[in-house]
Chains A and B, each alone.
Chain A
Amino acid sequence: MPGANIIPLFVIIPLFTAFFISLIGRFIKSTYVDIVSGLSSFLLLIFSFWGLAILGRCPETALVYKIGGWLPPFGICMVLDGLSNFMLVTVNIIAFLVVIYSFNYMEKYTDKPKFYTLFFLMLTGMNGVIVTGDLFNLFVFLEIASISSYALVAFGTEAEELEASFKYAIMGSVASAFIFIGIAFLYGFTSTLNMADMARVLSAKPSNWAVPFVSVLFLMGFGLKSALVPFHAWLPDAHSSAPASISAMLSGVLIKTLGVYALARIFFNVIGASGTVLSVLMFLGALSMLVAVILALSQWDLKRLLAYHSISQIGYVVLGIGLGTPLGILGGLFHLFNHSIFKSLLFLNSGAIDYSARTRDLREMSGLRKKLPVTAGTNLIASMSIAGIPPLNGFFSKLIIILACVQKGHIGYALAAVIASVLTLASFMKVQKFAFLGPLKEKYQAIKEVPPAMKFAMVSLATICILGGLLLLPSFSFFLNNAVNVLSDGRDYALAVFGAVLK
Chain B
Amino acid sequence: MTLYLLCLALFCVGLYGVLRKRNLVKIIIGLGIMEYAMNLFFILLAYRYHGRSPIEAQDQQILQMVDPLPQALVLTSIVIGLAVTALVISIAIRIYEKYGTFDITEIKRLRG
A151 and B86 CA atoms in complex are apart in Å by 11
Q: How far is the CA of A154 from the CA of B95 in the complex (A)?
A: 11
Asked if A163 is at the interface of the complex by the 8 Å CB criterion, the answer is yes
How many A-B residue pairs have C-beta atoms within 8 angstroms? Tell me. 89
B110 touches A187 (CB 8 A): no
Interchain nearest-CB distance for A502 vs B (Å): 23
How far is B26's CA from A170's CA once the two chains are assembled, in angstroms?
A: 12
| Chain B neighbourhood of A325, CB < 8 A | none
Most buried by A among B41, B80, B98: B80
Does A304 have its Cβ within 8 Å of any Cβ on chain B?
yes
Query: Is B66 among interface residues, defined by CB-CB distance under 8 A?
Result: no
Q: How close is B39's CB to chain A, nearest CB, in angstroms?
A: 8
Known A-B contacts A177-B35, A184-B42, A187-B70; A170 and B18 likewise in contact (beta carbons under 8 Å): yes
Q: Does B13 lie at the interface of the complex (its beta carbon under 8 Å from any beta carbon of A)?
A: no
B94 contacts across to A, CB distance below 8 A: 154, 157, 162
State whether B98 touches A162 (Cβ < 8 A). Answer: yes
A444 within 8 A of B: no
**Complex Cα gap A157–B91 (Å):** 9
Nearest CB on B from A122, distance (A) = 13
CB neighbours (8 Å) of B45 from chain A are: 184, 187-188
Closest to B95 in A: A162
Across the interface, which residues of B come within 8 angstroms of A157, CB to CB? Answer: 94
Of listed B76, B88, B91, B112, residue having the most chain A CB within 10 A? B91
Complex Cα distance, B110 from A165, in Å, reads 11
B65 at the interface (CB under 8 A from A): no
- Residues of A265-319 whose CB lies within 8 A of B: 298-299, 301, 304
77-112 of chain B: CB within 8 A of chain A: 77, 80, 83-84, 87-88, 91-92, 94-95, 98-99, 107-110, 112
- If A159-B98, A237-B110 touch, whether A166 touches B88 (CB-CB below 8 Å) is yes
| Complex interface: chain A residues within 8 A of B91 (CB) | 150, 154, 162, 165-166, 169
Closest to A236 in B: B112
B112–A181 touching, CB < 8 Å: no
CA distance A160 to B92 in the complex (A): 13
Please give, as numbers and ranges, the residues of chain A lying within 8 Å of B69 by CB-CB distance. Answer: 187, 193
Contacts of B112 in A (CB 8 A): 236, 298-299, 301, 304
Q: Are B109 and A173 in contact (CB under 8 A)?
A: no
Residue of A nearest to B88 (CB): A169
A160: B residues at CB distance < 8 A: 109-110
Contact A184 B83 (CB under 8 A): no
Say if the beta carbon of A17 comes within 8 Å of chain B: no
A136-B73 in contact (CB<8A): yes
Are B109 and A180 in touch, CB under 8 angstroms?
A: no
Which B residues, 1 to 53, have Cβ-Cβ distances below 8 Å to chain A?
11, 15, 18, 24, 27, 31, 34-35, 38, 41-42, 45
The CA-CA distance from A346 to B14 in the complex, in Å, is 39
Complex alpha-carbon distance, A272 and B35, angstroms: 28
Q: How far is the CA of A301 from the CA of B109 in the complex (A)?
A: 13
C-alpha spacing A174/B76, complex, angstroms: 17
Across the interface, A177 reaches (CB within 8 A) one of B34, B70, B88, B99, namely B34
Is there contact, CB below 8 Å, between A143 and B88? no
Assess the A166–B83 pair: CB atoms within 8 A. Answer: no
Q: How far is the CB of B4 from chain A (nearest CB, A)?
A: 10
List 9 A-B residue pairs with CB atoms under 8 Å apart, sorted by A's residue number. Answer: A150-B84, A163-B110, A165-B91, A166-B24, A166-B92, A170-B88, A173-B84, A184-B42, A184-B70
- Give the 6 A-B CB pairs with smallest separation, nearest first: A159-B98, A188-B45, A184-B42, A143-B80, A237-B110, A162-B95
Please give 19 more A-B residue pairs, beta carbons under 8 A apart, in addition to A151-B87, A162-B95, A166-B92. Answer: A150-B84, A150-B87, A154-B94, A157-B94, A159-B98, A163-B95, A163-B108, A164-B110, A169-B87, A173-B31, A174-B15, A174-B31, A176-B84, A180-B42, A180-B77, A184-B45, A236-B112, A241-B110, A301-B112
